[in-house]
Protein backbone atom coordinates (compact mmCIF):
# COMPACT_ATOMS: atom_id res chain seq x y z
CA UNK A 1 0.00 0.00 0.00
CA UNK A 2 1.48 3.33 -1.07
CA UNK A 3 1.68 6.22 1.36
CA UNK A 4 0.34 9.48 -0.02
CA UNK A 5 1.30 12.74 1.62
CA UNK A 6 -1.55 15.20 1.16
CA UNK A 7 -0.14 18.71 1.58
CA UNK A 8 -2.53 21.60 2.22
CA UNK A 9 -2.89 24.98 3.91
CA UNK A 10 0.11 27.04 2.91
CA UNK A 11 1.59 30.50 3.23
CA UNK A 12 -1.04 32.03 0.95
CA UNK A 13 -4.22 34.12 1.00
CA UNK A 14 -5.96 30.98 -0.31
CA UNK A 15 -5.05 29.04 2.84
CA UNK A 16 -8.60 28.17 3.90
CA UNK A 17 -9.63 27.06 0.41
CA UNK A 18 -6.61 24.75 0.37
CA UNK A 19 -7.61 23.20 3.71
CA UNK A 20 -11.05 22.37 2.29
CA UNK A 21 -9.52 20.78 -0.82
CA UNK A 22 -7.08 18.80 1.33
CA UNK A 23 -9.92 17.52 3.51
CA UNK A 24 -11.89 16.41 0.46
CA UNK A 25 -8.91 14.56 -0.98
CA UNK A 26 -8.19 12.76 2.30
CA UNK A 27 -11.84 11.83 2.86
CA UNK A 28 -12.40 10.47 -0.64
CA UNK A 29 -9.11 8.77 -1.51
CA UNK A 30 -9.32 4.98 -1.95
CA UNK A 31 -8.25 3.73 1.50
CA UNK A 32 -7.83 0.19 0.14
CA UNK A 33 -5.00 1.40 -2.12
CA UNK A 34 -3.46 4.32 -0.27
CA UNK A 35 -2.57 5.29 3.27
CA UNK A 36 -2.90 9.02 3.84
CA UNK A 37 -0.31 11.11 5.68
CA UNK A 38 -1.65 14.65 6.31
CA UNK A 39 0.85 17.50 6.03
CA UNK A 40 -0.50 20.89 7.02
CA UNK A 41 1.44 24.08 6.26
CA UNK A 42 0.37 26.82 8.65
CA UNK A 43 -0.16 30.44 7.66
CA UNK A 44 3.26 31.19 9.14
CA UNK A 45 4.90 28.45 7.06
CA UNK A 46 5.37 25.66 9.63
CA UNK A 47 4.97 22.08 8.37
CA UNK A 48 2.90 19.85 10.67
CA UNK A 49 1.69 16.26 10.66
CA UNK A 50 -0.60 14.27 12.95
CA UNK A 51 -3.92 12.41 12.88
CA UNK A 52 -5.93 15.35 14.27
CA UNK A 53 -5.17 17.20 11.03
CA UNK A 54 -7.64 14.89 9.28
CA UNK A 55 -10.62 16.27 11.24
CA UNK A 56 -12.08 19.45 9.73
CA UNK A 57 -13.67 20.61 13.00
CA UNK A 58 -10.20 20.95 14.51
CA UNK A 59 -9.46 23.79 12.10
CA UNK A 60 -12.54 25.67 13.27
CA UNK A 61 -11.51 25.22 16.91
CA UNK A 62 -7.75 25.45 16.27
CA UNK A 63 -7.50 22.30 18.37
CA UNK A 64 -4.64 20.02 17.29
CA UNK A 65 -3.51 17.66 20.04
CA UNK A 66 -1.06 15.29 18.42
CA UNK A 67 0.67 17.40 15.75
CA UNK A 68 4.42 17.48 15.29
CA UNK A 69 6.41 20.05 13.36
CA UNK A 70 8.37 18.28 10.67
CA UNK A 71 11.07 18.63 8.06
CA UNK A 72 11.66 16.48 4.99
CA UNK A 73 14.63 14.58 3.68
CA UNK A 74 15.27 12.60 0.54
CA UNK A 75 16.37 8.99 0.31
CA UNK A 76 18.96 8.55 -2.43
CA UNK A 77 18.32 4.81 -2.54
CA UNK A 78 14.57 4.48 -2.96
CA UNK A 79 13.57 8.11 -3.82
CA UNK A 80 11.14 8.26 -0.92
CA UNK A 81 10.58 11.34 1.19
CA UNK A 82 11.12 10.91 4.93
CA UNK A 83 9.38 12.96 7.61
CA UNK A 84 11.47 13.90 10.63
CA UNK A 85 10.73 15.94 13.75
CA UNK A 86 11.85 19.53 13.33
CA UNK A 87 15.21 20.13 15.00
CA UNK A 88 16.17 16.46 15.22
CA UNK A 89 19.60 17.18 13.77
CA UNK A 90 21.34 16.30 10.55
CA UNK A 91 22.66 12.90 11.66
CA UNK A 92 20.67 10.12 13.26
CA UNK A 93 17.33 11.72 12.51
CA UNK A 94 14.23 10.09 13.92
CA UNK A 95 11.91 8.96 11.13
CA UNK A 96 8.23 9.70 11.74
CA UNK A 97 6.99 8.44 8.39
CA UNK A 98 7.89 8.06 4.73
CA UNK A 99 6.00 8.92 1.58
CA UNK A 100 5.79 7.21 -1.78
CA UNK A 101 3.90 10.00 -3.53
CA UNK A 102 2.78 13.53 -2.75
CA UNK A 103 -0.62 15.10 -3.46
CA UNK A 104 -0.30 18.89 -3.25
CA UNK A 105 -3.68 20.44 -2.45
CA UNK A 106 -2.15 23.90 -2.17
CA UNK A 107 -3.82 26.87 -3.83
CA UNK A 108 -2.18 30.10 -4.86
CA UNK A 109 1.23 31.43 -3.91
CA UNK A 110 3.92 29.03 -2.66
CA UNK A 111 2.03 25.95 -3.74
CA UNK A 112 0.18 26.24 -7.03
CA UNK A 113 2.88 28.37 -8.63
CA UNK A 114 5.62 25.80 -9.21
CA UNK A 115 7.60 26.42 -6.03
CA UNK A 116 6.74 23.23 -4.17
CA UNK A 117 6.71 21.29 -7.43
CA UNK A 118 10.37 22.24 -7.85
CA UNK A 119 11.13 20.76 -4.44
CA UNK A 120 9.59 17.44 -5.44
CA UNK A 121 11.39 17.46 -8.78
CA UNK A 122 14.70 17.81 -6.95
CA UNK A 123 13.70 14.99 -4.61
CA UNK A 124 12.63 12.90 -7.62
CA UNK A 125 9.37 11.83 -6.01
CA UNK A 126 6.06 11.42 -7.86
CA UNK A 127 3.64 14.28 -7.21
CA UNK A 128 0.15 15.01 -8.42
CA UNK A 129 -0.73 17.86 -10.73
CA UNK A 130 1.05 20.24 -13.05
CA UNK A 131 4.83 20.38 -13.15
CA UNK A 132 7.06 23.36 -12.43
CA UNK A 133 6.57 24.96 -15.84
CA UNK A 134 2.81 24.46 -16.13
CA UNK A 135 2.24 25.57 -12.55
CA UNK A 136 4.31 28.72 -12.81
CA UNK A 137 2.97 29.75 -16.22
CA UNK A 138 -0.60 28.92 -15.21
CA UNK A 139 -0.24 31.00 -12.06
CA UNK A 140 1.26 34.08 -13.71
CA UNK A 141 -1.62 35.60 -15.67
CA UNK A 142 0.79 37.63 -17.80
CA UNK A 143 2.98 34.72 -18.91
CA UNK A 144 -0.12 32.57 -19.35
CA UNK A 145 -1.66 35.08 -21.75
CA UNK A 146 1.64 35.53 -23.58
CA UNK A 147 1.79 31.76 -24.19
CA UNK A 148 -1.84 31.57 -25.29
CA UNK A 149 -1.33 34.53 -27.62
CA UNK A 150 1.62 32.72 -29.21
CA UNK A 151 -0.71 29.75 -29.87
CA UNK A 152 -3.33 32.10 -31.38
CA UNK A 153 -5.80 31.21 -28.64
CA UNK A 154 -8.50 33.84 -28.02
CA UNK A 155 -7.81 36.20 -25.11
CA UNK A 156 -8.92 39.73 -24.27
CA UNK A 157 -6.57 42.68 -24.82
CA UNK A 158 -4.31 43.36 -21.85
CA UNK A 159 -1.24 45.18 -20.61
CA UNK A 160 0.82 44.93 -17.45
CA UNK A 161 3.28 46.82 -15.28
CA UNK A 162 5.38 46.48 -12.14
CA UNK A 163 4.46 47.89 -8.74
CA UNK A 164 7.64 49.96 -8.99
CA UNK A 165 6.30 51.59 -12.20
CA UNK A 166 3.21 52.63 -10.29
CA UNK A 167 5.26 54.03 -7.42
CA UNK A 168 7.53 56.05 -9.72
CA UNK A 169 5.05 57.45 -12.24
CA UNK A 170 1.39 56.55 -11.79
CA UNK A 171 0.31 59.15 -14.34
CA UNK A 172 2.31 57.40 -17.05
CA UNK A 173 0.77 54.03 -16.12
CA UNK A 174 -2.75 55.45 -16.20
CA UNK A 175 -2.23 57.17 -19.54
CA UNK A 176 -0.91 53.97 -21.15
CA UNK A 177 -3.90 51.99 -19.87
CA UNK A 178 -6.39 54.56 -21.11
CA UNK A 179 -4.66 54.81 -24.49
CA UNK A 180 -4.41 51.06 -25.11
CA UNK A 181 -7.50 49.65 -23.37
CA UNK A 182 -9.88 52.43 -22.41
CA UNK A 183 -12.69 51.63 -19.99
CA UNK A 184 -14.01 49.45 -18.47
CA UNK A 185 -11.10 47.24 -17.43
CA UNK A 186 -10.30 44.62 -14.81
CA UNK A 187 -7.25 45.13 -12.62
CA UNK A 188 -5.67 41.97 -11.18
CA UNK A 189 -2.58 40.86 -9.27
CA UNK A 190 -0.69 38.71 -11.78
CA UNK A 191 0.00 35.84 -9.37
CA UNK A 192 -3.08 35.17 -7.31
CA UNK A 193 -6.33 33.25 -7.51
CA UNK A 194 -9.79 33.03 -5.95
CA UNK A 195 -10.64 36.55 -7.18
CA UNK A 196 -8.59 38.12 -4.38
CA UNK A 197 -7.44 41.65 -5.19
CA UNK A 198 -9.44 41.86 -8.44
CA UNK A 199 -11.60 44.91 -9.20
CA UNK A 200 -13.36 46.47 -12.17
CA UNK A 201 -12.61 50.05 -13.12
CA UNK A 202 -15.08 52.13 -15.14
CA UNK A 203 -13.21 55.43 -14.96
CA UNK A 204 -9.92 56.98 -13.83
CA UNK A 205 -10.87 57.17 -10.15
CA UNK A 206 -11.93 53.53 -10.19
CA UNK A 207 -8.70 52.57 -11.93
CA UNK A 208 -6.55 54.26 -9.30
CA UNK A 209 -8.51 52.58 -6.51
CA UNK A 210 -8.27 49.14 -8.18
CA UNK A 211 -4.52 49.45 -8.73
CA UNK A 212 -3.95 50.58 -5.14
CA UNK A 213 -5.63 47.36 -3.98
CA UNK A 214 -3.85 45.08 -6.45
CA UNK A 215 -0.33 46.31 -5.64
CA UNK A 216 -0.78 45.07 -2.07
CA UNK A 217 -0.91 41.49 -3.36
CA UNK A 218 1.74 41.32 -6.10
CA UNK A 219 4.59 43.25 -7.71
CA UNK A 220 3.16 42.55 -11.19
CA UNK A 221 -0.24 43.92 -12.14
CA UNK A 222 -2.26 42.97 -15.20
CA UNK A 223 -5.03 45.12 -16.65
CA UNK A 224 -7.54 43.49 -19.01
CA UNK A 225 -10.16 44.91 -21.32
CA UNK A 226 -13.53 44.02 -19.78
CA UNK A 227 -16.01 41.84 -21.62
CA UNK A 228 -19.37 43.54 -21.19
CA UNK A 229 -22.30 41.48 -19.87
CA UNK A 230 -20.23 38.28 -19.92
CA UNK A 231 -21.18 34.71 -19.29
CA UNK A 232 -18.56 32.49 -17.67
CA UNK A 233 -18.24 28.92 -18.90
CA UNK A 234 -15.77 26.54 -17.27
CA UNK A 235 -14.42 23.22 -18.49
CA UNK A 236 -11.86 20.87 -16.93
CA UNK A 237 -9.27 18.66 -18.61
CA UNK A 238 -7.77 15.43 -17.26
CA UNK A 239 -4.67 13.58 -18.47
CA UNK A 240 -1.18 14.34 -19.78
CA UNK A 241 0.61 14.66 -23.13
CA UNK A 242 -2.03 14.06 -25.80
CA UNK A 243 -4.03 11.55 -23.74
CA UNK A 244 -6.59 13.98 -22.36
CA UNK A 245 -10.35 14.16 -21.86
CA UNK A 246 -12.70 17.02 -21.05
CA UNK A 247 -15.34 17.32 -18.35
CA UNK A 248 -18.83 18.70 -18.62
CA UNK A 249 -19.03 22.46 -19.00
CA UNK A 250 -20.47 24.53 -16.18
CA UNK A 251 -21.87 28.03 -15.97
CA UNK A 252 -21.59 29.80 -12.60
CA UNK A 253 -24.85 31.64 -11.93
CA UNK A 254 -26.00 34.62 -9.92
CA UNK A 255 -22.97 36.88 -10.39
CA UNK A 256 -22.71 40.18 -12.22
CA UNK A 257 -19.31 41.74 -12.93
CA UNK A 258 -16.88 39.70 -10.81
CA UNK A 259 -17.18 36.13 -9.59
CA UNK A 260 -16.06 36.89 -6.03
CA UNK A 261 -14.38 34.72 -3.42
CA UNK A 262 -17.78 34.29 -1.73
CA UNK A 263 -19.43 33.33 -5.03
CA UNK A 264 -16.83 30.63 -5.60
CA UNK A 265 -16.50 29.08 -2.16
CA UNK A 266 -19.52 30.04 -0.06
CA UNK A 267 -22.55 30.57 -2.30
CA UNK A 268 -21.27 27.93 -4.70
CA UNK A 269 -20.50 25.35 -2.05
CA UNK A 270 -23.46 23.20 -3.12
CA UNK A 271 -23.07 21.80 -6.60
CA UNK A 272 -25.83 21.59 -9.13
CA UNK A 273 -28.87 23.69 -9.96
CA UNK A 274 -31.44 24.90 -7.45
CA UNK A 275 -34.97 25.83 -8.38
CA UNK A 276 -34.23 29.40 -7.26
CA UNK A 277 -30.99 31.18 -6.51
CA UNK A 278 -28.94 28.62 -8.45
CA UNK A 279 -25.17 28.80 -8.09
CA UNK A 280 -23.92 26.76 -11.03
CA UNK A 281 -25.53 25.05 -13.98
CA UNK A 282 -24.03 21.71 -15.06
CA UNK A 283 -24.06 21.09 -17.94
CA UNK A 284 -23.96 24.69 -19.12
CA UNK A 285 -26.84 25.88 -21.29
CA UNK A 286 -24.89 26.21 -24.54
CA UNK A 287 -25.44 24.69 -27.96
CA UNK A 288 -23.45 21.75 -29.30
CA UNK A 289 -21.25 23.83 -31.61
CA UNK A 290 -20.21 26.15 -28.80
CA UNK A 291 -19.63 23.23 -26.41
CA UNK A 292 -17.29 21.52 -28.88
CA UNK A 293 -15.41 24.77 -29.45
CA UNK A 294 -14.92 25.35 -25.71
CA UNK A 295 -13.79 21.76 -25.12
CA UNK A 296 -11.27 22.06 -27.96
CA UNK A 297 -9.92 25.34 -26.57
CA UNK A 298 -9.73 23.82 -23.09
CA UNK A 299 -7.53 21.01 -24.37
CA UNK A 300 -5.27 23.47 -26.21
CA UNK A 301 -5.00 25.69 -23.13
CA UNK A 302 -4.05 22.62 -21.06
CA UNK A 303 -1.53 21.07 -23.44
CA UNK A 304 0.10 24.33 -24.58
CA UNK A 305 1.59 24.85 -21.10
CA UNK A 306 2.42 21.12 -20.73
CA UNK A 307 -0.04 20.59 -17.89
CA UNK A 308 -0.86 17.22 -16.32
CA UNK A 309 -3.32 15.81 -13.84
CA UNK A 310 -6.44 17.94 -13.96
CA UNK A 311 -7.01 21.64 -14.48
CA UNK A 312 -10.04 23.86 -14.93
CA UNK A 313 -10.07 26.40 -17.74
CA UNK A 314 -12.35 29.41 -17.32
CA UNK A 315 -13.87 31.10 -20.37
CA UNK A 316 -15.80 34.30 -20.98
CA UNK A 317 -18.54 34.68 -23.59
CA UNK A 318 -19.57 38.10 -24.87
CA UNK A 319 -23.08 38.96 -26.06
CA UNK A 320 -22.26 37.57 -29.52
CA UNK A 321 -20.96 34.29 -28.05
CA UNK A 322 -17.35 35.07 -28.90
CA UNK A 323 -15.18 32.92 -26.65
CA UNK A 324 -12.17 34.17 -24.67
CA UNK A 325 -9.90 32.14 -22.41
CA UNK A 326 -9.87 33.91 -19.05
CA UNK A 327 -7.44 31.68 -17.14
CA UNK A 328 -6.34 28.16 -16.33
CA UNK A 329 -6.46 26.82 -12.78
CA UNK A 330 -3.80 24.12 -12.55
CA UNK A 331 -5.19 23.12 -9.15
CA UNK A 332 -8.95 23.80 -9.08
CA UNK A 333 -10.68 24.22 -5.73
CA UNK A 334 -12.10 20.85 -4.59
CA UNK A 335 -10.09 19.51 -7.58
CA UNK A 336 -13.16 20.39 -9.67
CA UNK A 337 -14.78 17.02 -8.90
CA UNK A 338 -18.31 18.32 -9.60
CA UNK A 339 -17.39 18.82 -13.28
CA UNK A 340 -16.58 15.13 -13.67
CA UNK A 341 -19.49 13.46 -11.88
CA UNK A 342 -21.78 13.86 -14.90
CA UNK A 343 -19.23 11.89 -16.94
CA UNK A 344 -19.27 9.00 -14.50
CA UNK A 345 -16.05 9.96 -12.71
CA UNK A 346 -16.65 10.25 -8.97
CA UNK A 347 -14.31 12.25 -6.75
CA UNK A 348 -12.71 8.98 -5.61
CA UNK A 349 -12.06 7.90 -9.20
CA UNK A 350 -10.76 11.37 -10.07
CA UNK A 351 -8.23 11.23 -7.22
CA UNK A 352 -7.21 7.74 -8.34
CA UNK A 353 -6.67 8.89 -11.93
CA UNK A 354 -4.63 11.89 -10.79
CA UNK A 355 -2.35 9.64 -8.73
CA UNK A 356 -2.00 7.20 -11.65
CA UNK A 357 -0.99 10.08 -13.92
CA UNK A 358 1.58 11.25 -11.37
CA UNK A 359 3.14 7.78 -11.22
CA UNK A 360 3.23 7.42 -15.01
CA UNK A 361 4.74 10.86 -15.63
CA UNK A 362 7.34 10.20 -12.94
CA UNK A 363 8.34 6.99 -14.73
CA UNK A 364 8.53 8.97 -17.98
CA UNK A 365 10.79 11.56 -16.35
CA UNK A 366 13.17 8.86 -15.15
CA UNK A 367 13.66 7.59 -18.70
CA UNK A 368 15.76 10.72 -19.28
CA UNK A 369 19.54 10.58 -18.96
CA UNK A 370 20.91 12.77 -16.17
CA UNK A 371 24.58 11.88 -16.50
CA UNK A 372 27.06 12.68 -19.24
CA UNK A 373 30.67 11.54 -18.95
CA UNK A 374 32.79 14.29 -20.45
CA UNK A 375 35.98 13.78 -18.40
CA UNK A 376 35.89 17.55 -17.89
CA UNK A 377 37.69 17.52 -14.53
CA UNK A 378 40.81 15.86 -15.99
CA UNK A 379 40.78 18.18 -18.99
CA UNK A 380 40.50 21.40 -16.97
CA UNK A 381 43.39 23.09 -15.15
CA UNK A 382 41.96 24.28 -11.84
CA UNK A 383 43.10 27.62 -10.51
CA UNK A 384 43.91 29.35 -13.79
CA UNK A 385 41.60 32.36 -13.80
CA UNK A 386 41.82 33.01 -17.52
CA UNK A 387 41.06 29.39 -18.36
CA UNK A 388 37.76 28.96 -20.22
CA UNK A 389 35.68 25.89 -19.47
Q: Is 243 a catalytic residue?
A: no
The answer to whether 44 is annotated as binding is no
The answer to whether 57 is annotated as binding is no
Sign of the alpha-carbon torsion through 252, 255, 257, 261: negative
The answer to whether 314 is annotated as binding is yes
The answer to whether 231 is annotated as binding is yes
The answer to whether 229 is annotated as binding is yes
The answer to whether 88 is annotated as binding is no
311 vs 193: CA distance, rounded Å:
14
The answer to whether 232 is annotated as binding is yes
The answer to whether 218 is annotated as binding is no
Q: Is 12 a catalytic residue?
A: no
Bridge pairing between strands 220-225 and 34-41: unpaired
The answer to whether 365 is annotated as binding is no
Q: Of residues 135, 194, 250, 251, which has the active-site annotation?
A: 194
- Give the CA distances from residue 300 to residues 144, 244, 320, 323, 377, in Å, rounded to whole numbers and listed in that order: 13, 10, 22, 14, 45
Q: Of residues 12, 14, 18, 250, which has the active-site annotation?
A: 14
The answer to whether 25 is annotated as binding is no
Q: Of residues 12, 135, 247, 334, which has the active-site annotation?
A: 334
The answer to whether 346 is annotated as binding is no
Q: Is 164 a catalytic residue?
A: no
| Spatial contact of 188 and 141, defined as CB atoms under 8 Å apart | yes
The answer to whether 379 is annotated as binding is no
The answer to whether 195 is annotated as binding is yes
The answer to whether 251 is annotated as binding is no
117 vs 122: CA distance, rounded Å:
9
The answer to whether 226 is annotated as binding is yes
For the chain, the farthest-separated pair of C-alpha atoms sits apart, in whole angstroms, at 79
Binding residues: 141, 186-188, 194-195, 224-232, 314, 326-327, 329
Q: Cite the annotated binding site for ATP by residue number.
A: 141, 186-188, 194-195, 224-232, 326-327
Q: Looking at the annotation, which residues are catalytic?
A: 14, 194, 334
Which residues contribute to the annotated binding site for Mg(2+)? 314, 327, 329
Amino acid sequence: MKKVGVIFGGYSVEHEVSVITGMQVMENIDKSKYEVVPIYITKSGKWLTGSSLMEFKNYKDNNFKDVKQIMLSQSLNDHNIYLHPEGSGLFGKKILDKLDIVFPALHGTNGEDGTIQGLFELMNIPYVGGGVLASSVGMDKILMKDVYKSYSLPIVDYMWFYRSNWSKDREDVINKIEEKLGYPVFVKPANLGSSVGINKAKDRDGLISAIEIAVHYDRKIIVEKAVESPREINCAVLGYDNEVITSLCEEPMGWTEILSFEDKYIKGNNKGVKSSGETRRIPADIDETLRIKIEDLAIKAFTSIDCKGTARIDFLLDKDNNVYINEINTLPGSIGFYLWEGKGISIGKLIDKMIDIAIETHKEKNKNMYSYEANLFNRTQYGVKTRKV
